[in-house]
Structure 1
Amino acid sequence: MAGIIHDVLAELQQGARKRQDPNAKQHGVFRTVDDAVSAAQIAHQTLVAIPLEKRKEIIANIRKRAAEDVHTLAEMAHEETGLGRVEDKIKKNLLVIHKTPGPEILQPIAYTGDDGLALIERAPFGVVASITPCTNPTETILNNGIGMVSGGNAVTFNTHPAAKGVSAYCVDLINRASMEVGGPSNIMTCIHTPTIDSAGALMHHKGTPLVVVTGGGGVVKAAMQSGKKCVAAGPGNPPVVVDETADLDRAARGIYNGASFDNNIICTDEKEVMAVEKIFDPLLERIESLGAVRLRNHQIRRLESLILTPDRMHTNRDWIGKCPSEMLKAIDVPFRGDPRLIVCDVPFEHPFVQLELLMPVIGFVRCADVHQAIDKAVEAEHGYRHTASMYSRNIESLHRMARAVNCSIFIKNASNYAGLGFGGEGYTSFTIASPTGDGLTTARTFTRERRCTLSGYFRIV
């Protein structure tokens, strides 16, 4: 993956592609839900009628054109949403472009025996209704879109209003890539001015048999009440456990790099750390040495007032995805350079532990031993069953943590993004559908199983 990023960034340093003229026609962008779904239905009918090799060619060209435009996608997302870091958004987009599974994951299964042949294949649903977030707007469109189209579906997106511009740009780019190799336009469509009402209309539209949502608890609940098959990716609060056997240098680097990645707006990013007392201070010292800023006493109280609501029950959305430097300036704490992470020694009940902040701020909790650390991690994860990680050399402790936390993603001795395939093996997904039990979604998730049986024939051995 590092080699891919290096090659693409080298290309981009020679000059990024110019953005499309904002006044030019955008393929796939429609004023109404009805128009967007209708156009996607026509595209779906065309898609299932063309050869599978053409579908593979379409997916390959989407990857190619998106990689060529990755710098623009990252810059536009940052400019429009104000969240995260451009350099990290480039990495996220490249990850989904290159490691989202395509048609190759939809291999047929055959059973033969005395009674003949049974063939099982994956079939499309039709037009998928997809709700996307502002935290990972283009990443989710590319990741969902590649998987859905690989399965023979078209998709209509209701994108987050705070990222509607870059989302429309991304949808247009994808449709142009399809048309460029002889595929249909409108394989992905979106609403020009998305709202809560348009999201509801899309989820309940008679032309969308499958609903896929990536977002908070509210949109997950709405999707589950749509009366349709639902694939829902909800919130997470990923805990990290560090025990006394851990490689502390590795743990410090992993936590620092992971919790600071794109200013912690990815749902899988490290959100709180449970560290055994014996190694607590050495671990924090190592993280500080990497460039993190550690707050104490009144500094923590000032930060609380800045990034939490007055009741301390919610985050102040104005600070989601902002850089530590902005927060430190606001609370009058000196710093050097461009720090990527703020760390705080806080009790377990503190909001920096219990809330999914989506900021580069992480609470560290002192624990008596590994057993207490694991128990507290399970409690802080709140039963989302999303993501968790642990640094340890003790196989028994790693085993206990994996079973106890029961998450879709569990990472051992690495940054959490390794669980998405960034610095770790396996494919990627930006829709982690823990609430509906689908885990990391792929083209298989967005297809339905069909069986064809021929009785008495075609067993050839």
Structure 2
Amino acid sequence: MELIDKDLLSIQEVRCLIAKAKAAQVKFRQYSQEQIDKIVKAMADAADLEAVRLAKLAHQETGFGKSEDKIIKNIFACKTVFNSIKDLKTVGIINEDREKKIIEVAEPIGVIAGLIPSTNPTSTTIYKSLIALKAGNAIIFSPHPSAKQCILETVKILSEAAIKAGAPEGIIGCMSVLSMRGTEELMKHKDVSLILATGGEAMVKAAYSSGTPAIGVGPGNGPAFIEKSANIPLAVKRIIDSKTFDNGVICASEQSIVVEKEIKDQVVAELKKQGAYFLTQEESDKLGKYMLRGNGTINPQVVGKSVEKLAELAGLNIPKNAKVLISEQTTVSKDNPYSREKLAPILGFYVEENWEKACDRCIELLENEGKGHTLIIHSNNDDIIKQFALKKPVSRLLVNTCGSLGGIGATTNLVPALTLGCGAMGGSSTSDNVGPMNLLNLRRVAYGVREFADLREEGTSNERIQLSQEYVENLVKNILEKLAM
């Protein structure tokens, strides 16, 4: 009875949130670009002031990552994301091509359902709120249960700032009574126009199966290939910095290192020098058994944990100064946890004969998990980089940069985002780093540039008539021949 009551309460809360959001968005869609920009800036400024507190709340509640790195992610969301969108035109006529006589008019989508993960809870909430309202939409959040309080607090800060700056009440909402039935109601409700899903594979699949248009992202499993022309010490530094950032919870972070046999010893020596610990076979087996659960999924207890905590959980005796745990592997499969997405400072390590074999190994890793997401290459050979760009089943190929921060657009010129599309190959509706332009429709006004009579004249030219006559004559001839037989 208690479970049924919670479901009913959750469903009722969702319906109320949707009704308020719909009413608010009807008003909000009439706002000018200047009004919307003022509101979005107020939200970003409010989040910036609370970035440190929200990061600490997220760390305390979830136990994932590091609070100092979550501060950086919050600031990325309210500064870098904001700066990338602040000058975008998202209201009214946003583009006019006089030569082609096409006008593009931005149209808000309506009410968006935002699913928020526990790995990046406050930063993702800030980011999704900014891009949703920038495009003229309302948004309602469904928090991951283990990050409920920090997400609710983030929504409170953003909502108050938006309303104070002139937004209608209800433009940002958040579920507080959480249940699967409530989230299903949010995703399937007729007044919700789009689902923006960031989270586990099951949740993203549910979003796409809801019947409501959705933008969802799959798991990452990005290999990092160190090619022999690379600056090896710098490549290793970037990988370790990236994999230790917030204890590896960003899905674009490196999951495996792939190297050519020729430089294996150099790379291994550099990794050890910079704080990586290579597990023995016994240690790899022990940690691997802890990582992979009986149902074939990665144990959530490893997510966002430090090396020290991982060693404690798996019963390993690891040096105190170790930053990353590395296991040398030769196989790729669902049963090998080192060849899968590990949102923790753990890396698989593969040695291949040459760059072509390394290319094949990277594809194998991506086909195993993370198809459509991200791959990282460290190289100074432009020809090899281009070969990787042509062959890899990914939406973003990062060159000579950190996977985690490069993928989200912090150390690259990709669109700054915390929802990274995987394209159709990865089961996603987009391959973009998702921004405001993904959250609006374009109405295209197209002027006539040629007359129907001109098309008729083109289609009845002497040459075309001659071809048609020849076709008919041959057809009749073939029929007569068959009848004669």
Give matches, 1:380-419, under 5 Å. 380-382=365-367, 384-416=371-403, 417-419=405-407
The amino acid across from 1:63 in the alignment is: A
- Residues 73-126 of structure 1, C-alpha deviations (whole Å, 9 max, x = no match): 111111111111111111111112112243533361113259xx5421221011
The amino acid across from 1:369 in the alignment is: N
Report the Cα distance in structure 1 between the residues aligned to 2:88 and 2:11, rounded to whole angstroms: 31
**Inter-CA distance 180–243: structure 2 relative to 1 (3 Å threshold):** same
SS in 2 for 1:408: strand
Report the Cα distance in structure 2 between the residues aligned to 1:30 and 1:93, rounded to whole angstroms: 30
Unaligned runs of 5+ in 1: 1-28, 457-461
Matched-pair contact (CA < 8 Å) for 2:308–2:318: no
Report the Cα distance in structure 2 between the residues aligned to 1:103 and 1:44, rounded to whole angstroms: 20
Report the Cα distance in structure 2 between the residues aligned to 1:43 and 1:341, rounded to whole angstroms: 48
Q: Say which of 94, 98, 106 aligns to 1:112.
A: 98
- Residues 347-392 of structure 1, C-alpha deviations (whole Å, 9 max, x = no match): 2337243221211100101111111111110110126210101011
Matched-pair contact (CA < 8 Å) for 1:58–1:183: yes
Residue 454 of structure 1 deviates from its aligned partner by 6.9
The corresponding residue for 2:454 is none
SS in 2 for 1:430: coil
Residue 31 of structure 1 deviates from its aligned partner by 6.6
Larger radius of gyration: 2
Deviates more, 1:223-232 or 1:65-74: 223-232
SS in 2 for 1:400: helix
Report the Cα distance in structure 2 between the residues aligned to 1:38 and 1:249, rounded to whole angstroms: 56
The corresponding residue for 1:132 is 116
Residue 425 of structure 1 deviates from its aligned partner by 2.6
Matched-pair contact (CA < 8 Å) for 1:171–1:190: yes
The amino acid across from 1:414 in the alignment is: T
Give matches, 1:333-412, under 5 Å. 333-337=317-321, 339-349=322-332, 351-382=336-367, 384-412=371-399
SS in 2 for 1:134: coil
Residue 323 of structure 1 deviates from its aligned partner by 0.7
The corresponding residue for 2:174 is 190
- Residues 314-338 of structure 1, C-alpha deviations (whole Å, 9 max, x = no match): 222122111111122342314224x
- Residues 414-446 of structure 1, C-alpha deviations (whole Å, 9 max, x = no match): 111223222223431111121112421110000
- Aligned alpha-carbon RMSD (Å): 2.1
Deviates more, 1:418-427 or 1:105-114: 105-114
Q: Say which of 104, 128, 137 aligns to 1:153.
A: 137
Whether 1:439 aligns to 2:426 is no
Matched-pair contact (CA < 8 Å) for 2:366–2:393: no
**Inter-CA distance 286–342: structure 2 relative to 1 (3 Å threshold):** same
Matched-pair contact (CA < 8 Å) for 1:127–1:210: yes
Report the Cα distance in structure 2 between the residues aligned to 1:329 and 1:228, rounded to whole angstroms: 44
- Residues 49-74 of structure 1, C-alpha deviations (whole Å, 9 max, x = no match): 33321211111111111111011111
Whether 1:428 aligns to 2:411 is no
Report the Cα distance in structure 2 between the residues aligned to 1:84 and 1:66, rounded to whole angstroms: 20
Normalized against structure 1, the TM-score is what?
A: 0.87
The corresponding residue for 1:287 is 271
Matched-pair contact (CA < 8 Å) for 1:352–1:361: no
The corresponding residue for 1:449 is 442
SS in 1 for 2:119: coil
Report the Cα distance in structure 1 between the residues aligned to 2:294 and 2:215, rounded to whole angstroms: 34
Matched-pair contact (CA < 8 Å) for 1:345–1:363: yes
The corresponding residue for 1:58 is 39
SS in 1 for 2:438: coil
The corresponding residue for 2:307 is 324
Residue 310 of structure 1 deviates from its aligned partner by 4.5
Deviates more, 1:166-175 or 1:99-108: 99-108
The amino acid across from 1:56 in the alignment is: D
Matched-pair contact (CA < 8 Å) for 1:231–1:438: no
Matched-pair contact (CA < 8 Å) for 1:31–1:193: no
Report the Cα distance in structure 1 between the residues aligned to 2:172 and 2:362, rounded to whole angstroms: 39
The amino acid across from 1:210 in the alignment is: L
SS in 2 for 1:444: helix
SS in 2 for 1:448: strand
Report the Cα distance in structure 1 between the residues aligned to 2:320 and 2:245, rounded to whole angstroms: 19
Deviates more, 1:345-354 or 1:228-237: 345-354
Unaligned runs of 5+ in 2: 1-9, 423-427, 450-485
The amino acid across from 1:445 in the alignment is: N
Whether 1:33 aligns to 2:14 is yes
The corresponding residue for 2:73 is 92
The amino acid across from 2:63 in the alignment is: G
Count how many residue pairs are aligned between Structure 1 and Structure 2: 424
The amino acid across from 1:385 in the alignment is: G
SS in 2 for 1:267: coil
Matched-pair contact (CA < 8 Å) for 2:46–2:157: yes
Residue 134 of structure 1 deviates from its aligned partner by 0.9
- Percent pairwise identity: 24
Matched-pair contact (CA < 8 Å) for 2:33–2:89: no
The corresponding residue for 1:221 is 205
Matched-pair contact (CA < 8 Å) for 2:292–2:337: no
Report the Cα distance in structure 1 between the residues aligned to 2:141 and 2:63, rounded to whole angstroms: 21
**Inter-CA distance 123–103: structure 2 relative to 1 (3 Å threshold):** farther
SS in 2 for 1:445: helix
Deviates more, 1:175-184 or 1:360-369: 175-184
**Inter-CA distance 234–454: structure 2 relative to 1 (3 Å threshold):** same
Matched-pair contact (CA < 8 Å) for 2:28–2:168: yes
Matched-pair contact (CA < 8 Å) for 1:220–1:233: yes
Which structure dedicates a bigger proportion of its chain to helix?
Answer: 2
SS in 2 for 1:49: coil
Matched-pair contact (CA < 8 Å) for 1:30–1:191: no
Normalized against structure 2, the TM-score is what?
A: 0.83
Deviates more, 1:160-169 or 1:90-99: 90-99
Matched-pair contact (CA < 8 Å) for 2:288–2:338: no
